[in-house]
Structure 1
Amino acid sequence: MDLDVRRLRVLYEVALRGGITAAAAALHVTPSAVSQQLGQLAREAGCELLERSGRGVVLTPAGHVLADHAKRIIGAVEQAQAGLAALRRDVNGTVRVGAFPSAAGALVAPAAARALARYPDLDIRVVEVEDQQSRLDLYSGTLDVIVLQEYDHVPTPLASDLDRHPIARDPMHLITPVGWGSRSGRLGDLRDVRWIASAEGTPCLRSTLHACRLAGFEPDIRHRAIDFALTLDLVDAGLGAALVPGLALRNVPSGVHIEPLADPVTERRIFAVTRSRGTGPRRPAIDAFLAELTATQRSDLEPVAAIR
């Protein structure tokens, strides 16, 4: 039996994304086109690959077996292409990078600019994307590099088929309304004030809660904000105190007082992730971008606003 690699990729996307509609969106085709490709693949394989489950479909045992092989086949093709590019020492082609907002602006953009200045034939494309989505896109090959974060006491585990590349440490800062006066940077002094924190289940919220508990109190959280820009606006309006990483302090309203967190000291770590290169090389284009990203300059990490 002959199996088409392109159709194997479609099957892998369905397995990875959990359904035909999500796979179609990732592949930028219609669900009907995905179904047609899978139907042809099933005929090539000589067995059913999907079965109905409620309103959707799931992979059959044969579908799971073939999807596992598809992942390895796609990886082998990628490694073959990388090996040939490494022999030619080609630093060209497209590198697709996904990152969360504060890292995308402060770290990825300057690194991309430096890489493009060094290698004019390189094409770097940056996408703002949330962590979980970026992992799926990395596995599927939609992205080549993703940038993730982990806070103290909230580790971000990686699967063994992913490689981690440290970029920077981003210390947490205490921000309060200017009208509250100067602060010491010690959380214990703010046990009786209103707080602003991130949404339930986010690493930033868990880090804030842990830091406050280390300081001996449970914060009185009155407002929730996922976007750091909203957190800054809420503090500027005098509605509470918050803990934010330094990279979030690049456009700070005048009514916000900033101090490095003195006690307990905490930070987040920012790192890039790529698919494991296995026993072979990575594409030189990816390595060229990673070299710039992991050599992040101090100026990229410093907030635009001075500590005040």
Structure 2
Amino acid sequence: ILKFGAYIVDALVDYKQPCFVYIPPKGELRGGSWVVVDSRLNAEHMEMYADTESRGGVMEPSGTVEIKFRDKMLIETMRRLDRVTKQLEKEDAKLASEGLPIDAPRRQEIKEKKEKRIQDLLPVYKQVAIHFADMHDTATRMKKRDAVHDVVMWEKSRNYFYWRLRRQLILFNLRKEITIADPTLSLIQAQNLVFKWAEEAGHNVDGNYQFVQWACHSISFFASKLAALHAAHQMRNLHGFAHDNPTAFLEILRRLDPNLYHRLEFVSAVSEQTQSSSSTQRSMAALSLITKPNAPGDNTGEPADGLPASHLI
């Protein structure tokens, strides 16, 4: 069991598609089973669900009582709640205050009655404790503790998982496309971005059917968002490259667009020549050199550096 359980765990950890674990009515997982199919093994792809009549079964209720509700605690509860036991303890305390020793016949009689009462009630209290522990193993409690993603009734499970699977497949594809457009984003960040888009469009991200309908009618919307993400990512990369390698960046500009490169040279030359001028004067001079058809002092009608005037504007 341990050997093949380890194989299952390895396969689930590496699985990259939607995976659902469902506990059916009257179904129950044991402690070892939880280790194998726990959704936390692959939280980005796995989800666990349970029917209203299912049980987690991490530990038997009787075992939980043996660990967390021992006989000593049951007796303390009995002394706090049982009327007869409380009365016997009051009588014993009164006799002790009157100076009777603990081995006095009357105190011994009260002690025997109290012990008999405890032994008679202990099985009843233990059954109550077991039932109390079992109440903490319901599907609702598992949902409260985030052990399962949701509680799904068996009668509605087929329809629920149909739309849930469609939703997850669409979401996973969108997450993948987003991480391709911007590799700096994690899957969780990409998923939150999709949810943000849905909320901005006024749609409920928790409704499987509503999410699928919105996604199927938003193809062009996703295309534009992905293009914008990719462009922003490329801009950040380009900005970082220009900051770290300005010479190489200018050489790339020269090869891609010589006209733009010459315009940048003009701006650089004007900045050097007008360092003593005000910032406004330097800006006006740079703008004049870039947009003026002829170079200063040239009356030939040709633009500076032999470039057409249209390429400088």
> What is the TM-score of this pair, normalised by structure 2?
0.20
More helix by percentage: 2
More strand by percentage: 1
Question: Relative contact order (alpha carbons < 8 A, sep ≥ 6): 1 or 2 greater?
Answer: 1
